[in-house]
Amino acid sequence: MIRRTATALVVPAALLVTLTGCTFGVVGGGSGSGSTPGADGGASLPADAALASCIAGDWHADLDDAASQIGSFLAGNGLNVTASTASGTQDLTVDADGLDFENAMTFVITIDTGDGIVMTVTQTHAGTVTAVWSWEGDPAETSATMHFSDFDNSTYTVQNTVDINGTAVSTPIEAPDYVAGDVPLEVTCSGDTMTTHPTESPFTTTWHR
């Protein structure tokens, strides 16, 4: 039972790397859908420029929401999750040169496997991820899909510790290059709220300014 549960936790660990590997890039990249007349008779921003303008700046991930999603995902796969929490920060800065994606966060998930066995998984993310992006097709004003290039996660580390009834084993998890390079990212942005959803992940990250 312990082996089966520990194996099951490898999947969300990898998915969490995908969650944290979402990236953006050079503001104004990609193709646009053309200008539309503004209320004053002038031309408003084209959709791609409007969305690029919205995502530009500093963002902070809602880690409590991310932890809740992880707990729900595990519970939905048959595990008895008694707690799923997050601490630290995950920050993203988007400007004309690309992104600076800073990770300094820890997730702690506790699972009661039955028969008096309690497993606690602690996953710590640290380091920087950078990339540039391009739009896929013509973006809407508040949503689009991105693809990536020049992806660099060389300083990004993930440490996973599994504690079973007081006995802990720590292992590093290598962040794969395909995380952002090959997985399109669905993005929405309106005002001070942005969401990012890697198409291969069950998780959506919510960001606030």
What is the distance between the alpha carbons of residues 191 and 176, in angstroms, rounded to a whole number? 32
Average pLDDT in the 81-107 region?
88
Residue 35 within any structural domain of the chain: no
Higher pLDDT, 187 or 182: 187
Residue 87 within any structural domain of the chain: yes
Residue 38 within any structural domain of the chain: no
pLDDT at 182: 64
Higher pLDDT, 48 or 126: 126
Structure pTM? 0.78
Average pLDDT in the 195-204 region?
87
Query: Which has the closest alpha carbon to 113: 172, 173, 64, 162?
Result: 162
Structure tokens at 142: 């508040």
Residue 208 within any structural domain of the chain: no
What is the distance between the alpha carbons of residues 85 and 201, in angstroms, rounded to a whole number? 19
| Residue 180 burial (CB count, 10 A) | 30
> How many independent structural domains does the chain possess?
1
Compute CA 49 distance to the chain's CA centroid, rounded to the nearest angstrom: 23
Residue 34 within any structural domain of the chain: no
Residue 172 within any structural domain of the chain: yes
pLDDT at 71: 92
Lowest-confidence pick of 34-48, 68-82, 167-181, 186-200: 34-48
33: pLDDT confidence band, cut at 50, 70 and 90? very low
Residue 33 within any structural domain of the chain: no
Range of the domain at 187: 2-28+45-201
* DSSP helix/strand/coil, 72: helix
Residue 39 within any structural domain of the chain: no
